[in-house]
A = this chain, B = another copy of it.
Amino acid sequence: MERKFAIAIHGGAGSILKETLGPTLEGEYKNSLENSLVAASNILNKGGKAIDAVELAVEIMENDPLFNAGKGSVMTHDGEFELDASIMDGRNRMAGAVCGIRNIPNPIKVARMVMTHSEHVLLSGKGARRFAEKMGFERVEPDYFFTLERAKQLKAARKRDKILLDHSHDEKHGTVGAVALDMNGDLAAATSTGGLTNKKFGRVGDSPLLGAGTWAENKVCAVSCTGQGEAFIRSATAYELAARIKFAGLNLENAAYLAIHETINSLGLSGGLIAVDGFGNIAMPFNTIGMYRASLKQGEKPFIGMFKN
């Protein structure tokens, strides 16, 4: 049987409205999503691995200041940049993750190294950075992440003493992620974020947590979530979706729909996710106003969207 690859990416969910975004920014987001999608698809198209495709898709979005991850990360209450990321390989459920890592431009690459070059899954804070440095990652100064936009957001949030889930507009949840099925039938997922504007006390969301924000399991599905992280942790959302397929026999579309519109809704919280199964089906549900997202199934036209329809 000849298998076809499939890939989906997201750049965060929230109150993304055509009217407020404006045509210029809309075009920029479209370009950025397309860049990531095309580069990752090229890997898959050449018979490359799902795990390499999701890593690259996320790395490209981490390097893009438009998204709340890597370079575009929001600032903590103390004006720092503390980043989270995770990656999972569906072939063997190997996984790697970092939380609260500073001074490293691409946390997703460190997460991959945790998976391949350590006995652990999750490294945190200074220790995660020390691991990255040991692995040869270059350290950048906080300036690297600094943008006037993020500083303004922090100032506004501190004034209101509000912890923002947003990356540039209110109620927009900043995270990037990718899920892929390769021609070998293998699944992988990756997620990365700068967290919350004005976050305090070393808060960790769902993005670096396997089973919450990220999951990949061959023959079942690969999932990456975005939204109010606490809701996704309290629902084990990424794994819940997999469990509905594995144990309840649901198809991907129904399992993904319920994960958001039943489980996350039942907590009165919001977000979205992207998921792909072993057949190349793709689901991208969200209960927010919009979600930056793009997908491609081999031989079909790519989809790029951000609004409800």
Contact = CB atoms under 8 A, between A and B. Distances in A.
A222 B200 CA distance: 29
A246 to B, nearest CB: 8
Given A130-B201, A201-B131, A211-B239, A94 B124 contact: no
Contacts of A233: 95, 121-122, 210-211
Question: By DSSP majority rule, is chain A's interface helix, strand, loop, or mixed?
Answer: mixed
A2 to B, nearest CB: 29
A212 B100 CA distance: 20
B243 A239 contact: yes
Contacts of A244: 243, 247
A235 interface: yes
A3 interface: no
A101 to B, nearest CB: 9
A209 B203 CA distance: 13
A200 B212 CA distance: 24
Interface string A211-246: 110010000000000000110011110011001101
B124 A125 contact: yes
A128 interface: yes
Nearest to A94: B234
Contacts of A204: 99, 122-124
A120 interface: yes
A1 interface: no
A289 to B, nearest CB: 21
A248 interface: yes
A230 B118 CA distance: 11
A126 interface: yes
B93 A267 contact: yes
Nearest to A118: B201
A127 interface: yes
A122 B203 contact: yes
Nearest to A212: B211
A19 interface: no
A202 interface: yes
A128 B247 contact: no
A119 interface: yes
A6 to B, nearest CB: 23
Contacts of A128: 201-202
A82 to B, nearest CB: 9
Interface of A: 93-95, 99-100, 118-128, 130-131, 163, 200-205, 209-212, 215, 229-230, 233-236, 239-240, 243-244, 246-248, 267
Closest 9 CB pairs of A and B: A127-B202, A243-B243, A211-B236, A247-B247, A247-B248, A127-B201, A124-B202, A236-B239, A131-B201
